[in-house]
Amino acid sequence: MSPLKNDRFLKALLRQPVDRTPVWMMRQAGRYLPEYRASRGEAGDFMSLCKNPELACEVTIQPLERFPLDAAILFSDILTIPDAMGLGLYFETGEGPRFNKIIRTEADVQSLKVVNTESDLDYVLKAVSTIRSELNGRVPLIGFSGSPWTLATYMVEGGSSKDFRHVKAMMYDTPEVMHQLLDVLAKSVIDYLNAQIRAGAQAVQIFDTWGGSLSDVAYQEFSLRYMRQIVEGLTRVYDGQQIPVILFTKGGGQWLESMADTGADALGLDWTTDIGQARRRVGDKVSLQGNMDPSVLYASPATIRTEVKRILDSYGYGTGHVFNLGHGIHQFVDPERAKAFVEAVVELSPGYHG
């Protein structure tokens, strides 16, 4: 593997000095880019794009050709694990992900096996190794997975949900069944992320998209407990390099101290938490990633620049900050606004370092 030419993202995650704040965007390879839409059209549909290592590599690198980003993130989907468990993932236009098989009973849960990534998700590993080779040390590659709770919500609801009625009913009525489901998912995520690391991922992120839907007590028991299990099971040094781990719970600002105690290297913040206050709460225990409201990218470049400066001011001087959006970039954002965002971080952040 080629040596890294730009390692400021990894350094910031590990709280090492950097010349400027590194920046990347969640969903940076996606529907807002016309070249992505062309690649998806070539593949035929979303899952065909995910399962084609060459096209997955192509769309992973597309945003790097446009913007001075400091990391690439594997192009894939958080629902590859349930798909590999035999649930039959498909996407309906305008409706998002759906499953042919839904998990609702104890028997359903007991039918699930821990995923063997090497055999069940080899297309993801081929994509990781292809991307890592193609990057040729340009920037680090991020691997990722959904959190057990987030994966469970999709598996029990059968797709996206506004009220989480089926998964929360299972959680409250038959907690022992929910724990069985979350345990098999946590073991699968450990296998999945460690396989990505062996294939070439240089950092990993756990996306807990729906953790913020839980009560305080339920979050600790049904989401954070299993993310801690994953962090403890991950390969943290590979090929002589540290592999940083990022935890991101959308709507999780009230749990930062507990999240910092998991052993993760960094916490992702959504836009509802002030990053300066978050830094004061977690101290030097973890780095912070975030956290501009993605909707700011609908505003003028001048407004975007002002908001970038406000967040840099809030975080303050020194390392330990990876600039990002507070969630994924929206599909209707003009790529020129995304460019204004990334360039503002590149231009303004050196003054907070050195």
Active site residues: 27, 31, 40, 77, 154
154 is in an annotated binding site: yes
198 is in an annotated binding site: no
C-alpha to C-alpha distance for 119 and 191, rounded to whole angstroms: 11
143 is in an annotated binding site: no
Smallest CA-to-CA distance from 199 within 263, 264, 144 is with: 144
DSSP state of 224: I
DSSP strands (E only) in the chain: 72-73, 89-92, 96-99, 141-146, 203-208, 237-238, 241-242, 245-249, 266-268, 287-292, 321-325
Tokens of 310: 């406000």
29 is in an annotated binding site: yes
Tokens of 206: 């756990």
27 is in an annotated binding site: yes
C-alpha to C-alpha distance for 119 and 254, rounded to whole angstroms: 39
28 is in an annotated binding site: yes
Tokens of 162: 């506004």
209 is in an annotated binding site: yes
Alpha helical stretches, state H, 24-115: 34-43, 46-50, 53-66, 80-82, 106-110
Which residues carry a binding-site annotation? 27-31, 77, 154, 209, 327
Binding-site sequence positions for substrate: 27-31, 77, 154, 209, 327
